[in-house]
Amino acid sequence: MAETVEFSMLGVDSLLEKLRTVNYDMKRKGGRSALRKAAQLIADKAREGALRLDDAETGRSIADNIALRWNGRLFRASGDLGFRIGVKHGAVLKDGGEKSQNSPTPHWRLLEFGTETIAADPFMRNALADSINEATDAFITNYEKTIDRAIKREAKSRGGS
């Protein structure tokens, strides 16, 4: 099963105060956009880490297969916003394993978690650990900008009517 990471944010009091004045739809849209930007930072760090592990002799590239996807299941189940960052194509090679460009890279798991004979060389977990503060700051900054714009639009529409 996939490993999940949860964390809490401290020092977001001004953001929470602004959220009280904005409607539900704006919270979700603005939150999703801000969260995507923060998740993109982590995905970029994962790509950087994967580039150092990629084998130049084959067309397979772990970095090219790193994907950022909306977590619709989490949103439908709980209403929480979430993105998933992972490596595309799963863990099994079909038909003997193609080695051309953009081919599946199931061996990323062996590198990330290690085996009995190979030490783990994590790049996905390190991407999150090394950039969590930067991603949190990006989320807060982008979300506050979105909320501020929404508050200004709302004030303008009330004053203009």
Give the pLDDT of the chain (161 residues) as one tens digit per residue.
Answer: 567 777 666 667 777 777 666 666 666 788 899 999 999 999 999 999 999 888 777 778 888 889 999 999 998 998 888 999 999 876 666 665 666 666 778 888 888 889 999 999 999 999 999 999 999 999 999 988 988 888 888 778 777 55
Distance of alpha carbon 11 from alpha carbon 31, whole angstroms? 17
Number of domain units in the chain: 1
pTM summary value? 0.76
The DSSP symbol for 28 reads H
User: Considering the domain boundaries, does residue 38 fall inside one?
Assistant: yes
* Residue 161 covered by a domain: no
Structure tokens given for 156: 């303008």
Q: Is residue 11 part of a domain?
A: no
User: Residue 80: inside a domain, yes or no?
Assistant: yes
